[in-house]
Amino acid sequence: MSERERRTILIIDDSRAARLNTTAHLSQICDAWNLIEGACGDDALARVEELQANGIEVDAMLLDINMPGMDGFELAVRLRSKYPHAPISLLSANIQKPVQDRAASLGYHFIAKPLSAEKTAEFVAIVEEAHAGTR
């Protein structure tokens, strides 16, 4: 059992395979984390409402950029207004520099797909660092 504090992480990606990969990687490092999945922006907002109704805060978010409907950038703006201190990582196979620059300029961490053990560890470190900073 992990000794890490339990965190609630929102994972939004229209690809089920990508979500499966993400949750499997995160579970290997942080098996006690509460991983909440959604397949699109509307899903994400619905999950957030449910969590808020149950008094659960989201500690960090992993959002795919290229999704049907609301893309990851638009979703990130909406989620940041709800959780201004929670880190947001944008995950994408679109690794073009303008996309990475846009993410950085808006204060989001960019992760190039596919997610690996190393990139997952980097994300976990960001989450823990952000949490330590808000104590």
Partner 1 sequence: MQELAEDQRDLIAEMMNLGAGKAAAGLGEKIGEEVLLSVPNVYLASRQAVVADFLSRASSEPSRRRLIVVMEKFSGGLEGEALLVLSAEDGRSLATLQQVREGSGADHRRPARFLAEIGGAVLNSCLGEFSEALGLEILIEPPVVEEGDAADLLLGLGEGADLLFVSLAFSVGRRSLAGHLLVVLDRRSIGDFLAGVDSHLVRLSCPSSVPPP
Please list every residue from 31 through 90 that binds partner 1, using CB under 8 A: 66-68
Q: Segment contacting partner 1 (CB under 8 A): 49-57, 74-82, 115-123, 127-135?
A: 115-123
Burial environment of residue 65 by CB neighbours within 10 A (0 to 12, 13 to 18, 19 or more): buried
Q: Coil, strand or helix: which one is 106?
A: coil
Q: Segment contacting partner 1 (CB under 8 A): 3-11, 81-89, 97-105, 127-135?
A: 97-105
Question: Using the rule CB under 8 A, which residue among 10, 25, 76, 108 binds partner 1?
Answer: 25
For 4-45, the DSSP string reads SPP-EEEEE-S-HHHHHHHHHHHHHH-TT-EEEEESSHHHHH
Contact status: 21 vs partner 1 (CB under 8 A)? yes
Q: Where does this chain bind partner 1 (CB under 8 A)? A: 14-18, 20-21, 24-25, 28, 66-68, 92-99, 113-117
